[in-house]
Amino acid sequence: MSYLKVKPGKLFEVEIDSIASDKSISHRSAIFSLLSNKPSKVINYLEAEDTLNTLSIVEQLGATITRKGSVIIITPPKKIQEPANVLDCGNSGTAIRLFMGFLSSREGFFVLHGDKYLASRPMRRVADPLRKIGAHIDGRVKGNLAPISVRGAKLEGFDYKSPIASAQVKSAMILAALHADTPSVYSEPHLSRDHSERMLRGMGAEVIDDGKKIKIIPNIAPLEPLEITVPADPSSGFFFAVATAITPGAKIVLKNISLNPTRVEAYEVLKKMGAEIEFIEKESQYEPIGDIIVGHRELKAVSVEKNIAWLIDELPALSIAFACAKGKSTVKNAHELRVKESDRIASVVNNLEKCGIKTTEFEDGYTVDGGELQSAVIDSFGDHRIAMSFAIAGLKCGMHIEDIECIQTSFPNFVTLLEGITEVSYGD
């Protein structure tokens, strides 16, 4: 389907236990399984285009994949194989950047590529620090754009201060550090999402975080295998949290969601705006997991300028809440939005203007004057989060979103769940 039409919604009270599995954890489960010499067991792996591409790459590198219902067994190879073909990362910046770090110390020649959107995203943020420690990495525009070539090499330990807070950069450097010749230290301006550190520690890696710096000790022996149930993705669930927050009288329960503090910051902002939000933790192995209950209340404007790395993916959806709030909301320190699947600052601002909402764009953020959303024809710019955010906006006024194939990259059952709270139509 290439377009989606959403009709205005009515009051709803639902419980959802089928939010898409966490994308970030799924990618990492597949890649990190290659750090062990024993089979890893992954339950509820996300069956979406991007994560399936990552699983395919792991297989091309020599792993054996066995499926038993919702369980995937990943048996790593004795040695990483040099693939005959280009490794297709699809639309995923997480995949290409983490594989750059992982493969930089592996014997062989590897070429990583993706779709036209991924091919326009910057890679030097990972390539440059990796080159400085001995990695052989090249690509278009002086190594900044895919396709990216990696020839494995012996790596040196490092003390790297990243100029940006990025979980992708951090994870790539940690993966490289695990196979460096001496211990490494990584630091960033602010703590970014910490799935990699949690999962790798759970596998026995010495990834020591003192709150300011991360020290990584090279692993001499293979790590323990993963045995993980991938929780529901809080970023995916957040679309329906916003749907609830902007619909008078609505209430929703999102089941079995990751409650990692670095992943629920957008819910905290929504709570600050006035929405009723409750977190109920049920278990914690690699990640705290539980339910999130959201109830509608009138929203007020808010300023978002701290912990940006913790809610960078949710800002498009959060902007729909801004548009429905009383007052002017502001986003600052969010330049990273410029280099996502689309330029998300421009994508959000341009589409909100189409919907009759006054905005102001600046280099690292924007303002949104709360008002009355109007129906419009929305360009997703091939960005799944833009497409889904404005589909949620359609609950207020009706919306037509173009180019929605991108939704399949992260949340294949999004439209099905949306049909549970409003009327939709779609087609080519």
Q: Name, in order, each residue with C-beta under 8 angstroms of 84's C-beta and a sequence gap of 6 or more.
A: none
Strand partners, 3: 402, 427
Q: How far lies 277's CA from each of 151, 248, 264, 301, 389, in Å? A: 48, 15, 11, 17, 19
Catalytic residues: 313
Contact 214, 186 (CB under 8 A): yes
d(CA 410, CA 405) in angstroms, rounded, equals: 11
Distance in Å from the first CA to the final CA of the chain: 5
- DSSP assignment of 259-289: --TTT-HHHHHHHHTT-EEEEEEEEESSSEE
Closest to 264 (Cα-Cα) out of 286, 283, 290, 285: 290
Q: Which helix (H) or strand (E) holds 386?
A: helix 384-397
d(CA 421, CA 12) in angstroms, rounded, equals: 6
Contact 137, 104 (CB under 8 A): yes
Contact 66, 105 (CB under 8 A): no
Q: Which two tokens stand for residue 357?
A: 């909402």
- Interstrand relation of 3-6 and 399-402 (parallel, antiparallel or unpaired): antiparallel
d(CA 117, CA 173) in angstroms, rounded, equals: 24
- Helix, strand counts (H, E) of the chain: 13, 24
Q: Which helix (H) or strand (E) holds 421?
A: none
d(CA 39, CA 227) in angstroms, rounded, equals: 9
How many CB atoms sit inside 10 A of residue 17's CB? 10
In degrees, rounded to 5, the angle at the alpha carbon of residue 79 between the alpha carbons of residues 76 and 85 is 90
